[in-house]
Structure 1
Amino acid sequence: MVDKIKIDVVSDVVCPWCIIGYRNLEQAIAELGLQDRVEIEWQPFELNPDMPAEGENLSAHSARKYGSTPESSAQFRLDMAARGAEVDFKFDYFKEMKIVNTRDCHVLLEYAKEFNLQTELKLRLFAAFFTEHKDVSDRAVLAKEAEAVGLNVEAAMAKLEDDSCLKEIQETEAQWHQMGVSSVPTVVVNRKSAIAGAHPVEGFKQLLQSAI
């Protein structure tokens, strides 16, 4: 019998499926009564590592990257809003919404891990981006979100100026790519088994049960 179950969640904070997948994983953990046996660590993945500082309008980005039409994009937003409601998360898409660079987010998430605040910060960043119309590439925004979860703002912001922290994130991302992670969310249990995608609760329960 395994005492602790280590779960790595590889994701990006601008990925809508990542918060939906996490909510389902969270419910699976609760339904199996594993809350005290699970250790979750968020791992970095940049959906758009080359995204410039100014970001890109979401509709234009969807059309360029995925070939979305205005109609399919509008339908996707409606579908995500409905799916979000099912897991108690609000997606509030808006016309001027932009996809932004998330590298600083991942640096801060790595720092938050030192204080056991990684999940709190991750959820805060999901809400900031998808619900509250905030630019999570803006360091002033990040400073406020870091403060909101109880991190030392000055120390947190210093991490964003430290090239070694940035290099560490890029190296970690590269390692996950080398292990075969090519889409998010990817949930890895005890570094032995994994599933990619925002699976329903039952799918995550099966994954967890294989570990216990």
Structure 2
Amino acid sequence: MKDKLKIDIVSDVVCPWCTVGYKHLQKAIEDLNIEDQIEIEWQPFELNPHMPEEGQDLTEHITQKYGSTPEQQKVSRQRLVDAGNNVGFTFDYFDGMRVVNTFNAHVLLEYAKQFGKQTELKMRLTTAFFSERKDVSKEDVLKQALLDVGLNAEEALAKLKDDDARFEVQRNKQYWQNLGVRSVPTVVFNRKEAVTGAQPIEVFKSILKEFTQPKAIKA
């Protein structure tokens, strides 16, 4: 049996372009009808690793981090809303929206991996944050997300206080940073080829074909 194509997606649950990029990748996989040939694993990246527990106002945060004016931010958010609409995802930006710490979410995504529920939980958390105005750093929101995807919430939440589980996430984060990952999404194919950003569907198709279709034999 042919080995599956391993795709690592380095991402954060509050990264909007990660969602758009994943949706493009998903569509490319579906169009090529190769779902059974693909194995996806989500890898941790924190856009704001030092974000305090109370979070920060989104507009204030983007202004501080990138120097963007409120007008520039409005334009870029509309771009995201449109990109989301094109892939069937709702980005609901609102006054008072806050950036939050996502480390605990990454601990739970690592837990979900052993049950084959990583992608499901990732999208549930992303939807909670961007579409449902929920704070994905809060334990009650995390608990509901776990329940929604059919995971043992009590067992999973215990991992948040488990030093080994927390260290594993830090170790994974460091691994990808050491490889040079500085922006997300970064999509890595069989640990051989990588692309960054929300690439168009056709770009993903081209790479997927390279890895999944038999090579032509030269005469």
Q: TM-score, normalised by structure 2?
A: 0.95
The equivalences for 1:6-45 within 5 A come to 6-45=6-45
Partner in structure 2 of residue 112 of structure 1: 112
Deviations 1:125-164 (A, max 9, x none): 1100000000000011101111110010110110011111
1:8/1:43 contact within 8 Å kept: yes
Matched, 1:186 2:172: no
Q: How far, CA to CA, are the matches of 2:165 and 2:49 in structure 1?
A: 16
Aligned residue in 1 for 2:206: 206
How far apart, in 2, do the equivalents of 1:197 and 1:104 lie? 24
Letter in 2 for 1:75: V
- TM-score, normalization by structure 1: 0.98
Matched residues, number: 212
Q: Which has the larger radius of gyration?
A: 2
Tell me the SS of whatever aligns to 2:211. Answer: coil
2:215 — aligned with what? none
Name the SS of the counterpart of 1:110 in structure 2: helix
User: What CA distance in whole angstroms lies between the structure 1 residues aligned with 2:120 and 2:181?
Assistant: 24
1 CA distance for matches of 2:62 and 2:146? 29
Superposed counterparts of 1:52-131, under 5 Å = 52-131=52-131
SS at match of 2:101: coil
Q: Give yes or no for contact 1:187–1:196 (8 Å, CA) kept in 2.
A: yes
Partner Cα distance (2:40, 2:20) in 1:
16
Deviation per CA, 1:63-101: give whole Å up to 9, x if none.
Answer: 000111010111111111111000000000011111100
1:3 CA drift (Å)? 3.2
Query: Which amino acid is the alignment partner of residue 170 of structure 1?
Result: Q
Give 1:2 deviation, angstroms: 4.9
Instruction: Report SS of the residue matched to 1:211.
Output: helix
Q: What stretches of structure 1 of length at least 5 have no aligned partner?
A: none
Unaligned runs of 5+ in 2: 213-219
Query: How far apart, CA to CA, are the structure 2 residues paired with 1:117 and 1:128?
Result: 16
